[in-house]
Amino acid sequence: MVTGNMLIIIFLLALGVLFFLILKLKVDPFLSLITVAIGTALVMGFKLKEVASVVATGFGNTLTGVGILIGLGVIFGEFLAASGAIEKIAQAVLRGFGNRRSAAGLGLTGTVVSIPVFFDAAFVILSGLIKSLSKKTGISVVSFVTALGIGLIVSHSMVPPTPGPMVVAENTHSDLGLFILYGLICAVPATLVGGYFYGLFIGKRVKHSGEIEAAASLEETAPKKEISTGLSFFMLALPIVLILSNTVSQLLFPNTALSSFFGFIGEKNVALLISVLIAIVVLSPYISVPYEKLYSQAINSAGIIILITGAGGAFGAVINQSGIGDYLIKTMQSWSVPVLLLAFIFAQILRASLGSATVALVTTSSILGPLAGDLGTSPILLGLAICSGAIGLSLPNDSGFWVVNKFGKLTITQTLKAWTIGGFLAGLTSLAMVYILSLFSGILPGL
């Protein structure tokens, strides 16, 4: 087996090969991750008979924690979108903020909506609000595009049950309810700084031209009858409340029948399954799209995410079993870079290079997650620092970049100024919040 500095060199070369396969040769991330995982194991000196087993075990162990959840989460998001619940939530939040602060309302709406609904779909659905809001308020379209995009990507990268942060919570062995709570505490300031305040700033300096493109799917998913605002918020909050009930009951009523009951219904897979089953029944009057189509769309989306997530876990397993973890601990102890900042930088590099927040989250947490105890930091804080790094620096190699560019009707330069820089500022703000939370280690639960 390879030891010492060669571990770091091979690791960096493996990342370089991964970037080359995905960016230059346009190989699918799943195939790239699996190929690099096997190749890295061989170069590291793993026994030939162990290579396939290590990769397969890493793949399976990762999906044990999140595989079911990803499938259920995507289905739940499809039902919320098709019923019109997402639009109702958006309208209610915007009414609450008023015209002057409508950009902040749109950004925070994005932060809430992107918890159950994936970024691309949520941006397409909510982008239809941008044109009417801009005309009504006189605020630049660019400001609204920035606020919406940043609000969506922040929770997409930070708040479970979105798959990326869910994997981070799993890999760092964090309490899921507390991870959601602290993730939201970090997400709101990040959205306001990178989405709202920076959005207003850049909106005054970038002249937008062109009409906002409405989502082509909206007409197809028009509900049979209008859903109420209360029901929309109820359905959105249901899985989160169930998961949090587990955490709260364990804190207030440990080792009781009540905590056992809430421990069951608040277990992440059970909580989301309950939410999906309730959605199937309760949202039926508001959905005109055949259920078969919704299931098909959800399964197609979930399949890709599950494969990439498992492959990222396989690559992480190879890295961990190579001994690089112990070596990194010894090496980082001699560095002056704090561990939370290091986690942020690592995730940020992967995010910018690979163009995928999910891949960055899975890969970084697979490598650093098991080291939280040895590094002397809270698993939740380490996980949130990783999540913060996955928010910003979206470049043209990211599909989200083109979603914002197309539906926001921005030029590439405008997209870089509004979306890319705004996301970077949001990530830094989130990291600052992680450090603020770290000041309360030992006082707040889980920290």
Query: What stretch of H or E contains 174?
Result: none
Confidence of residue 56 (pLDDT cuts 50, 70, 90): very high
pLDDT over 80 (residue 184): yes
Q: What is the pLDDT of residues 357-372, one digit of tens each?
A: 887 898 888 888 877 7
Sign of CA dihedral 33, 36, 41, 44: negative
Residue 188: the pLDDT is 94
Residue 16 CB partners (closer than 8 Å, separation 6+): none
CA–CA gap between residue 200 and residue 159 (Å, rounded): 25
DSSP state of 140: -
Q: What are 361's two structure tokens? A: 């989250």
Residue 212: the pLDDT is 52
Residue 219: the pLDDT is 43
pLDDT over 60 (residue 211): no
Measured CA to CA in angstroms, residue 89 lies from 95, 137, 233, 287, 346 at distances of 10, 20, 6, 16, 35
Residue 344: the pLDDT is 92
Residue 308: the pLDDT is 80
φ, ψ (nearest 5 deg) of residue 60? -70, -40
Q: Among residues 272, 353, 261, which one has the least CA distance to residue 14?
A: 353
Global model pTM greater than 0.85: no
Residue 217: the pLDDT is 43
Residue 418 C-alpha from the chain's centroid: 20
Measured CA to CA in angstroms, residue 329 lies from 66, 171, 372, 383 at distances of 27, 17, 10, 17
Confidence of residue 231 (pLDDT cuts 50, 70, 90): very high
pLDDT over 50 (residue 63): yes
Residue 195 or residue 377, greater confidence? 195
Alpha-carbon Rg for the chain, nearest whole angstrom, is: 21
CA atoms within 13 A on the CB side of 253: 12
Residues of the chain above pLDDT 90, percent:
27
